[in-house]
Structure 1
Amino acid sequence: MVIGALVPDAVMFINPFYRMPWNYGDAHSFLGVWLINIPLGMVLWLCWEFVIAPGYRTCAPKWLALRLPDHRPTTLKKVAWAIPSVLVGICTHLLWDSFTHAGYPLTSPGGPLDHTIGKLSLFRVLQHGSSVLGLGGVLLWILLLLRYPKRRSASSHWRLWPWLLPVITGVMAPVYLIMQQNFAHPKVLKLALLNIVTGSVSGVLVCAFFCALLLLGIKGARRVLRR
């Protein structure tokens, strides 16, 4: 569901580096749900399920490894459940957009959510407020999840570089993206800042993916050499 809730906006995170063949409007259309969002959501879920999660589980520091949930093998049933879960996440994203983005009946001029609070429209307050609450909820969930150890021992081997490289990417990506933006026109300033933020996030995730892929490759190579 989490991945599904993100994929309609995926084009915003990818476009700073690579221009996708579809745009924001396509991803938020009815056909886009089936032709873009669900396939992309499943690809991202598979990347998480088979690469990022198992890769970083092998290099987690001991205190974290002891607190991670038990790994559940990927089965056909799990894959089958992933598809409707992604779809539900997509639908919640699109539904909430109708309350928090311009161009919908509730947010159009004269609509019930077009009233202003200070200098912001009510739907903008809902948009930014829900983002803050959602981020706080995620952080609280992580804190509760990792509060107590779930096992007495863990098979992970702490490595610094898989954690350090994404951090370095998160620092360097904004520098690169700032150099690519045009700040001369005030009208595109917000778009430029958005590109910097979304591009930095996607840069970190892509770096983490390749780090995890390399970790799994190293682990597999060691198994082969031991035979």
Structure 2
Amino acid sequence: MPFTFSHPAVILPLTRSRYLSATGLIAGSIIPDFEYFIRLESVSNHSHTIAGIFYFDLPLAVLVSLLFHVLVKKPLIDNLPYFFRVRFQGMRNFDFPSYLGRYWFNFIVAVLLGTASHILWDDLTHAHTVSVNNIDWLQQTLRFGEIDKPIYKYLLHGSTIAGLAVVLFYIALMRKEVIVIGRPSAAYWMIVTGISSAIFWLRVLEGYPARLQMYAVSNIMVTIVSAFLFGVLTTSTLYSIFKRPQET
């Protein structure tokens, strides 16, 4: 799969629209991969299907968006490296629950657009999809030195790198906030690292089903991202509950 956080590259231009929720677009563009992260293995039975967009992806996008804005956002932004911190500072106090209550329709449309972009991207870069099965040139192989792969594989890896570059470029262009409260906490990242490491090793030591052994690298990557996300969620929740913020 393309790296999950490359997917927003496709919908970033739409975040400038006042009729669409930027949170909804970004959440929708990454949410299909969250079935992998919940399972802690490279398996998706629901999130990458047309029906699953409505019964799995949409409800999960609402939940993830609320968790991010209510519990994760402030502690995470306050502890990001300077480059990211000054650029995300402007959204720190955004009242997303109130926005969602007033503009729920805009949010839903944005999630659906983001999710559709994710599934279409995957459809062009994965084996056994509708597009790859029906577009002959995607199945043709190209050889570069010792590497001999079908075109859709090159599209997979190339679009992943390009997408991540676009996302980072877009972040670099974001307006910087001059005022930043406090300093990043080493304790925050120590807790994240401890929780993430524990989850990662518990999952790896448990082992993966035999049917997934051919996806060993993918499983490890999914587990790393999953463990990190759970670590950030848990740590940020603890900070939100027990640590008084310097500014609300």
* TM-score (normalizing by structure 2): 0.72
Give the Cα–Cα distance (whole angstroms) in 2 for the partners of residues 99 and 73 of structure 1: 37
State the shift of 1:206 in Å. Answer: 1.2
Superposed counterparts of 1:147-162, under 5 Å: 149-151=176-178, 153-156=179-182, 158-162=184-188
Corresponding residue for residue 17 of structure 2:
none
Matched, 1:25 2:45: yes
Corresponding residue for residue 123 of structure 1:
152
Pick the aligned partner of 1:104 from 92, 113, 129. 129
| 1:157–1:79 distance in 2 versus 1, CA, 3 Å | farther
Matched, 1:77 2:77: no
Give the Cα–Cα distance (whole angstroms) in 2 for the partners of residues 83 and 211 of structure 1: 28
Unaligned runs of 5+ in 2: 1-24
Superposed counterparts of 1:131-146, under 5 Å: 131-145=160-174
The structure with the larger Rg is 1
State the shift of 1:167 in Å. Answer: 3.0
Deviations 1:136-173 (A, max 9, x none): 2223333443xx7422x333454222222223444454
SS at match of 1:102: coil
Give the Cα–Cα distance (whole angstroms) in 2 for the partners of residues 35 and 61 of structure 1: 36
Deviations 1:12-42 (A, max 9, x none): 122127x9xxx62322222111100100111
Does the CA-based 8 Å contact 2:197-2:227 persist in structure 1? Answer: no
SS at match of 2:138: coil
Matched, 1:195 2:219: yes
Count of equivalent residues: 214
Does the CA-based 8 Å contact 2:123-2:132 persist in structure 1? Answer: yes
SS at match of 2:185: coil
Deviations 1:55-90 (A, max 9, x none): 323455777654434232222335443222211111
Q: Which amino acid aligns with 2:155?
A: L
Deviations 1:171-196 (A, max 9, x none): 4544333323369x7x7444232222
| 1:156–1:59 distance in 2 versus 1, CA, 3 Å | farther
Give the Cα–Cα distance (whole angstroms) in 2 for the partners of residues 131 and 177 of structure 1: 26
* TM-score (normalizing by structure 1): 0.78
SS at match of 1:128: helix
